[in-house]
Amino acid sequence: MHFLLILCVIAGGMGLSVEAGLLGPLGKEVGDLWATFSIFSVGAALTFLLMLFFSPRNSPSFFAQPAWQLLGGVLGPIYVIILTVAAPVIGIAMTMIGILAGQVFKSLIIDHFGLLGTARRKIDAKRIIALIFIIIALSLVAKG
């Protein structure tokens, strides 16, 4: 099961690279914020349809959840705006490796301290080495 989930997240990462490639030209045509809005509008409509047909009707309201759990609704558009602006200027590879470096760095901190309701997973030498390799990849792509 873990292997299947790993394949899914790899596919999701590939999708983000495609999204970054789509957002740059869209942002040039309609403006960066309109491009971001259009991506979220299409995503919201698709999610609504999926909820309508596949989500249990008796699930608790998201209004009943702690406000901090809805912070992703703020972080998502910021991420997409960064993709829209950065990818056409520094390239998709550089953008995605930079994002990956930031994700891994912050993920190590979240795991280490068990933040946001996650299980604690201590930072060890292997995880630090993995982050160093990502930073090396970032510097190699930057020079390319």
Structural domain contains residue 102: yes
Structural domain contains residue 119: yes
Whether residue 136 sits in one domain with residue 74 = no
Question: What pLDDT does 34 receive?
Answer: 96
Whether residue 76 sits in one domain with residue 138 = no
pLDDT tens-place values along the chain, 144 residues long: 799 999 999 999 999 999 999 999 999 999 999 999 999 999 999 999 998 899 877 777 778 888 888 888 899 999 999 999 999 999 999 999 999 999 999 999 999 999 998 999 999 999 999 999 999 999 999 876
Whether residue 85 sits in one domain with residue 144 = no
Structural domain contains residue 6: no
Question: What pLDDT does 112 receive?
Answer: 97
Show the CA angle centred on residue 131, arms to residues 19 and 76, nearest 5°.
30
Whether residue 96 sits in one domain with residue 86 = no
Question: What pLDDT does 144 receive?
Answer: 62
Whether residue 139 sits in one domain with residue 77 = no
Structural domain contains residue 3: no
How many helices and strands in the chain, by DSSP H and E? 5, 0
Whether residue 134 sits in one domain with residue 98 = yes
Whether residue 78 sits in one domain with residue 36 = yes
Please state, in angstroms and rounded to a whole number, the distance separating the CA atoms of residues 71 and 93.
27
Torsion of the alpha carbons at 51, 8, 109 and 121, rounded to the nearest 10: 100
Structural domain contains residue 84: yes
**Structural domain for 70, as ranges:** 16-50+66-90
Question: What pLDDT does 127 receive?
Answer: 96
Whether residue 82 sits in one domain with residue 38 = yes
Structural domain contains residue 58: no
Structural domain contains residue 31: yes
Structural domain contains residue 26: yes
Number of domains in the chain: 2
